[in-house]
A and B are shown apart, each in its own frame.
Chain A
Protein backbone atom coordinates (compact mmCIF):
# COMPACT_ATOMS: atom_id res chain seq x y z
CA UNK A 1 0.00 0.00 0.00
CA UNK A 2 2.73 2.39 1.05
CA UNK A 3 4.70 1.47 -2.09
CA UNK A 4 1.70 2.26 -4.27
CA UNK A 5 1.22 5.59 -2.53
CA UNK A 6 4.92 6.40 -2.98
CA UNK A 7 4.66 5.47 -6.65
CA UNK A 8 1.71 7.84 -7.08
CA UNK A 9 3.57 10.64 -5.33
CA UNK A 10 6.66 9.96 -7.43
CA UNK A 11 4.54 10.19 -10.58
CA UNK A 12 3.41 13.63 -9.42
CA UNK A 13 6.93 14.88 -8.84
CA UNK A 14 7.96 13.53 -12.26
CA UNK A 15 5.15 15.53 -13.83
CA UNK A 16 6.11 18.65 -11.88
CA UNK A 17 9.80 18.29 -12.74
CA UNK A 18 9.02 17.97 -16.44
CA UNK A 19 6.76 21.02 -16.20
CA UNK A 20 9.40 23.12 -14.43
CA UNK A 21 12.04 22.09 -16.99
CA UNK A 22 9.67 23.03 -19.82
CA UNK A 23 8.86 26.35 -18.11
CA UNK A 24 12.51 27.24 -17.56
CA UNK A 25 13.70 26.31 -21.06
CA UNK A 26 14.78 29.38 -23.11
CA UNK A 27 12.29 28.56 -25.86
CA UNK A 28 9.39 28.65 -23.39
CA UNK A 29 10.31 32.02 -21.88
CA UNK A 30 8.96 34.45 -24.43
CA UNK A 31 6.92 34.25 -27.62
CA UNK A 32 9.82 35.95 -29.40
CA UNK A 33 12.16 33.25 -28.19
CA UNK A 34 9.73 30.62 -29.43
CA UNK A 35 9.46 32.15 -32.90
CA UNK A 36 13.22 32.66 -33.09
CA UNK A 37 13.75 29.07 -32.08
CA UNK A 38 11.24 27.89 -34.63
CA UNK A 39 12.91 30.01 -37.32
CA UNK A 40 16.33 28.61 -36.52
CA UNK A 41 14.97 25.08 -36.54
CA UNK A 42 13.64 25.74 -40.05
CA UNK A 43 17.13 26.85 -41.10
CA UNK A 44 18.56 23.73 -39.57
CA UNK A 45 16.18 21.57 -41.57
CA UNK A 46 16.89 23.30 -44.90
CA UNK A 47 20.46 22.05 -45.53
CA UNK A 48 19.23 18.51 -44.85
CA UNK A 49 16.91 18.77 -47.83
CA UNK A 50 19.80 20.02 -49.96
CA UNK A 51 21.79 16.85 -49.85
CA UNK A 52 24.44 16.12 -52.44
CA UNK A 53 23.14 15.41 -55.98
CA UNK A 54 24.61 11.92 -55.82
CA UNK A 55 22.81 11.11 -52.61
CA UNK A 56 19.57 12.64 -53.89
CA UNK A 57 19.74 10.56 -57.04
CA UNK A 58 20.44 7.42 -55.11
CA UNK A 59 17.58 8.06 -52.79
CA UNK A 60 15.27 8.91 -55.71
CA UNK A 61 16.33 5.77 -57.46
CA UNK A 62 15.71 3.56 -54.50
CA UNK A 63 12.23 4.97 -53.79
CA UNK A 64 11.40 4.71 -57.53
CA UNK A 65 12.35 1.06 -57.49
CA UNK A 66 10.15 0.41 -54.49
CA UNK A 67 7.16 2.43 -55.62
CA UNK A 68 7.09 1.48 -59.29
CA UNK A 69 8.49 -1.97 -59.85
CA UNK A 70 6.45 -2.35 -63.08
CA UNK A 71 8.59 0.36 -64.75
CA UNK A 72 11.66 -1.78 -64.23
CA UNK A 73 10.07 -5.14 -65.02
CA UNK A 74 7.31 -4.27 -67.49
CA UNK A 75 4.82 -6.96 -68.43
Chain B
Protein backbone atom coordinates (compact mmCIF):
# COMPACT_ATOMS: atom_id res chain seq x y z
CA UNK B 1 0.00 0.00 0.00
CA UNK B 2 2.64 2.54 1.00
CA UNK B 3 4.55 4.66 -1.47
CA UNK B 4 6.97 5.88 1.15
CA UNK B 5 7.71 5.52 4.84
CA UNK B 6 9.75 8.43 6.10
CA UNK B 7 11.25 8.86 9.57
CA UNK B 8 12.42 12.15 10.98
CA UNK B 9 15.03 11.64 13.70
CA UNK B 10 17.96 13.22 15.45
CA UNK B 11 19.35 12.62 18.92
CA UNK B 12 19.57 16.38 19.44
CA UNK B 13 16.45 17.97 20.91
CA UNK B 14 15.06 21.17 19.44
CA UNK B 15 16.49 20.68 15.96
CA UNK B 16 13.09 20.81 14.24
CA UNK B 17 12.14 17.13 14.04
CA UNK B 18 8.46 17.68 14.80
CA UNK B 19 8.26 20.82 12.66
CA UNK B 20 9.67 18.92 9.70
CA UNK B 21 7.57 15.81 10.37
CA UNK B 22 4.32 17.77 10.70
CA UNK B 23 4.80 19.85 7.58
CA UNK B 24 6.22 16.95 5.62
CA UNK B 25 3.10 14.94 6.46
CA UNK B 26 0.91 17.87 5.44
CA UNK B 27 2.73 18.10 2.11
CA UNK B 28 2.47 14.36 1.49
CA UNK B 29 -1.23 14.52 2.36
CA UNK B 30 -1.73 16.62 -0.81
CA UNK B 31 -0.39 13.63 -2.77
CA UNK B 32 -2.17 10.73 -1.08
CA UNK B 33 -3.48 9.34 2.19
CA UNK B 34 -0.95 10.12 4.89
CA UNK B 35 -0.57 9.32 8.57
CA UNK B 36 1.88 10.93 10.96
CA UNK B 37 3.01 8.58 13.72
CA UNK B 38 4.26 10.33 16.83
CA UNK B 39 6.82 8.00 18.43
CA UNK B 40 8.21 10.76 20.63
CA UNK B 41 6.88 10.53 24.22
CA UNK B 42 7.01 14.35 24.34
CA UNK B 43 3.97 14.18 22.05
CA UNK B 44 4.60 17.39 20.10
CA UNK B 45 3.11 16.09 16.87
CA UNK B 46 0.21 14.48 18.72
CA UNK B 47 -0.55 17.78 20.44
CA UNK B 48 -0.40 19.60 17.12
CA UNK B 49 -2.80 17.05 15.65
CA UNK B 50 -5.20 17.37 18.55
CA UNK B 51 -5.82 21.04 17.84
CA UNK B 52 -8.54 22.34 15.59
CA UNK B 53 -8.67 20.51 12.30
CA UNK B 54 -9.04 21.85 8.81
CA UNK B 55 -9.71 19.81 5.71
CA UNK B 56 -6.69 18.08 4.24
CA UNK B 57 -4.69 17.82 7.45
CA UNK B 58 -3.02 14.43 7.95
CA UNK B 59 -4.10 12.11 10.71
CA UNK B 60 -1.75 12.00 13.71
CA UNK B 61 -1.43 8.84 15.80
CA UNK B 62 0.62 8.55 19.00
CA UNK B 63 2.36 5.20 18.96
CA UNK B 64 3.12 4.91 22.66
CA UNK B 65 5.31 1.84 23.02
CA UNK B 66 3.62 0.09 20.06
CA UNK B 67 5.89 1.66 17.43
CA UNK B 68 6.36 -1.45 15.32
CA UNK B 69 2.68 -2.38 15.46
CA UNK B 70 1.59 1.14 14.43
CA UNK B 71 4.08 1.32 11.56
CA UNK B 72 2.80 -2.00 10.23
CA UNK B 73 -0.79 -0.79 10.54
CA UNK B 74 0.02 2.54 8.89
CA UNK B 75 1.84 1.02 5.93
CA UNK B 76 -1.08 -1.27 5.19
CA UNK B 77 -3.64 1.53 5.28
CA UNK B 78 -1.91 4.69 4.00
CA UNK B 79 0.17 5.71 1.01
CA UNK B 80 2.57 7.82 3.03
CA UNK B 81 3.76 7.22 6.56
CA UNK B 82 5.81 9.78 8.47
CA UNK B 83 7.32 8.89 11.86
CA UNK B 84 8.42 11.58 14.30
CA UNK B 85 11.10 9.87 16.41
CA UNK B 86 12.20 10.68 19.98
CA UNK B 87 15.55 12.45 20.54
CA UNK B 88 17.11 9.35 22.09
CA UNK B 89 18.08 5.78 21.31
CA UNK B 90 17.40 4.69 24.88
CA UNK B 91 13.74 3.80 24.34
CA UNK B 92 14.50 1.65 21.29
CA UNK B 93 11.73 3.42 19.31
CA UNK B 94 14.16 5.10 16.92
CA UNK B 95 16.00 1.85 16.15
CA UNK B 96 12.73 0.00 15.50
CA UNK B 97 11.59 2.81 13.22
CA UNK B 98 14.84 2.92 11.26
CA UNK B 99 14.56 -0.81 10.64
CA UNK B 100 11.13 -0.29 9.04
CA UNK B 101 11.23 2.92 7.00
CA UNK B 102 12.49 3.64 3.50
CA UNK B 103 13.85 7.10 4.17
CA UNK B 104 15.36 8.86 7.17
CA UNK B 105 15.63 12.64 7.37
CA UNK B 106 17.96 14.10 9.99
CA UNK B 107 17.29 17.81 10.50
CA UNK B 108 20.33 19.81 11.56
CA UNK B 109 20.42 23.40 12.78
CA UNK B 110 23.30 25.61 11.61
CA UNK B 111 25.24 25.41 14.87
CA UNK B 112 28.33 23.38 15.86
CA UNK B 113 26.63 21.53 18.78
CA UNK B 114 23.91 20.39 16.42
CA UNK B 115 26.51 19.21 13.96
CA UNK B 116 28.34 17.20 16.62
CA UNK B 117 25.16 15.59 17.94
CA UNK B 118 23.95 14.71 14.46
CA UNK B 119 26.97 12.50 13.90
CA UNK B 120 25.52 9.96 16.34
CA UNK B 121 22.77 9.36 13.78
CA UNK B 122 25.37 8.09 11.31
CA UNK B 123 26.14 5.23 13.71
CA UNK B 124 22.41 4.57 14.22
CA UNK B 125 21.93 4.38 10.43
CA UNK B 126 24.83 1.94 10.09
CA UNK B 127 23.25 -0.29 12.74
CA UNK B 128 19.79 -0.08 11.12
CA UNK B 129 21.19 -0.99 7.70
CA UNK B 130 22.24 -4.38 9.05
CA UNK B 131 18.51 -5.15 9.22
CA UNK B 132 17.22 -2.67 6.64
CA UNK B 133 19.93 -2.37 3.95
CA UNK B 134 17.66 -0.29 1.66
CA UNK B 135 17.37 2.56 4.19
CA UNK B 136 18.14 5.91 2.55
CA UNK B 137 19.24 8.55 5.03
CA UNK B 138 19.89 12.26 4.52
CA UNK B 139 20.86 15.29 6.53
CA UNK B 140 18.45 18.21 6.03
CA UNK B 141 19.45 21.73 6.98
CA UNK B 142 16.87 23.46 9.14
CA UNK B 143 16.61 27.21 9.80
CA UNK B 144 19.16 27.88 7.10
CA UNK B 145 19.80 31.53 6.31
CA UNK B 146 20.93 32.62 2.87
CA UNK B 147 23.08 35.47 4.22
CA UNK B 148 24.64 33.59 7.14
CA UNK B 149 28.28 32.56 6.75
CA UNK B 150 27.78 29.82 9.35
CA UNK B 151 24.80 28.39 7.41
CA UNK B 152 26.96 28.23 4.29
CA UNK B 153 29.86 26.66 6.16
CA UNK B 154 27.51 24.10 7.75
CA UNK B 155 26.26 23.19 4.31
CA UNK B 156 29.80 22.52 3.13
CA UNK B 157 30.84 20.72 6.33
CA UNK B 158 27.79 18.43 6.34
CA UNK B 159 28.92 17.00 3.01
CA UNK B 160 31.77 15.31 4.89
CA UNK B 161 29.74 13.90 7.77
CA UNK B 162 28.77 10.42 6.69
CA UNK B 163 25.28 10.91 5.25
CA UNK B 164 24.29 12.65 2.02
CA UNK B 165 22.98 16.18 2.42
CA UNK B 166 19.77 17.23 0.73
CA UNK B 167 20.24 20.14 -1.62
CA UNK B 168 17.04 21.77 -0.38
CA UNK B 169 16.54 23.03 3.15
CA UNK B 170 14.06 24.61 5.53
CA UNK B 171 14.66 28.31 5.81
CA UNK B 172 14.48 30.23 9.07
CA UNK B 173 10.82 31.29 8.87
CA UNK B 174 8.33 32.47 11.45
CA UNK B 175 5.53 30.77 9.49
CA UNK B 176 6.40 27.37 10.98
CA UNK B 177 5.95 28.66 14.54
CA UNK B 178 2.82 30.70 13.81
CA UNK B 179 1.19 27.82 11.95
CA UNK B 180 1.93 25.44 14.86
CA UNK B 181 0.35 27.92 17.27
CA UNK B 182 -2.88 27.68 15.34
CA UNK B 183 -2.67 23.89 14.98
CA UNK B 184 -2.00 24.21 11.27
CA UNK B 185 0.70 23.20 8.87
CA UNK B 186 2.29 25.82 6.63
CA UNK B 187 0.16 24.34 3.82
CA UNK B 188 -2.93 25.61 5.63
CA UNK B 189 -1.48 29.01 6.50
CA UNK B 190 -2.35 30.90 3.35
CA UNK B 191 0.01 33.48 1.89
CA UNK B 192 2.00 33.60 5.14
CA UNK B 193 3.07 29.99 4.64
CA UNK B 194 3.90 30.29 0.95
CA UNK B 195 7.71 30.33 1.20
CA UNK B 196 7.71 27.59 3.84
CA UNK B 197 5.49 25.44 1.60
CA UNK B 198 7.98 25.96 -1.19
CA UNK B 199 10.76 24.69 1.14
CA UNK B 200 8.81 21.58 2.11
CA UNK B 201 7.73 20.87 -1.47
CA UNK B 202 11.33 21.03 -2.66
CA UNK B 203 12.38 18.61 0.07
CA UNK B 204 9.54 16.19 -0.72
CA UNK B 205 10.33 16.23 -4.43
CA UNK B 206 14.04 15.77 -3.82
CA UNK B 207 13.47 12.89 -1.38
CA UNK B 208 10.82 11.06 -3.40
CA UNK B 209 12.74 11.37 -6.67
CA UNK B 210 16.17 10.66 -5.23
CA UNK B 211 17.40 7.12 -5.65
Chain B residues with Cβ under 8 A from A8's Cβ? Answer: 112, 115, 153-154, 157
B152/A1 in contact, CB under 8 A: yes
Stretch among A9-17, A28-36, A46-54, A57-65 lining the B interface:
A9-17
A4/B150 in contact, CB under 8 A: yes
**CB under 8 Å from chain A, chain B span 109-152:** 112, 115-116, 119, 149-150, 152
Q: State whether the Cβ of A43 lies closer than 8 Å to any Cβ in chain B.
A: no
Partner among B149, B150, B152, B157 whose Cβ is within 8 Å of the Cβ of A9: B157
Cα A8 to Cα B115 with chains together (Å): 8
Q: State whether the Cβ of B156 lies closer than 8 Å to any Cβ in chain A.
A: yes
A12/B149 in contact, CB under 8 A: no
B156/A1 in contact, CB under 8 A: yes
Q: State whether the Cβ of B160 lies closer than 8 Å to any Cβ in chain A.
A: yes
Cα A61 to Cα B99 with chains together (Å): 66
Q: Select from chain B the residue with minimum beta-carbon distance to A15.
A: B116
Q: Select from chain A the residue with minimum beta-carbon distance to B155.
A: A5
Cα A4 to Cα B153 with chains together (Å): 6
Q: How many residues of B contact A (CB 8 A)?
A: 13
Given A1-B152, A1-B153, A4-B153, the answer on whether A9 and B112 have CB atoms closer than 8 Å is no
Majority DSSP secondary structure for residues of B touching A? helix
Chain B residues with Cβ under 8 A from A5's Cβ? Answer: 153, 156-157
A12/B115 in contact, CB under 8 A: yes
Cα A7 to Cα B153 with chains together (Å): 9
Q: State whether the Cβ of B161 lies closer than 8 Å to any Cβ in chain A.
A: yes
Chain A residues with Cβ under 8 A from B160's Cβ? Answer: 9
A12/B161 in contact, CB under 8 A: yes
Chain A residues with Cβ under 8 A from B153's Cβ? Answer: 1, 4-5, 7-8
A12/B156 in contact, CB under 8 A: no
Chain B residues with Cβ under 8 A from A9's Cβ? Answer: 157, 160
Cα A8 to Cα B112 with chains together (Å): 7
Residues of chain B at the chain A interface (Cβ within 8 Å): 112, 115-116, 119, 149-150, 152-154, 156-157, 160-161
Residues of chain A at the chain B interface (Cβ within 8 Å): 1-2, 4-5, 7-9, 11-12, 15-16
5 A-B pairs (CB sep. < 8 Å):
A1-B156, A4-B150, A4-B152, A5-B153, A8-B112
Listed from nearest, the 5 A-B pairs whose CB atoms lie closest are A4-B153, A8-B157, A5-B156, A5-B153, A5-B157
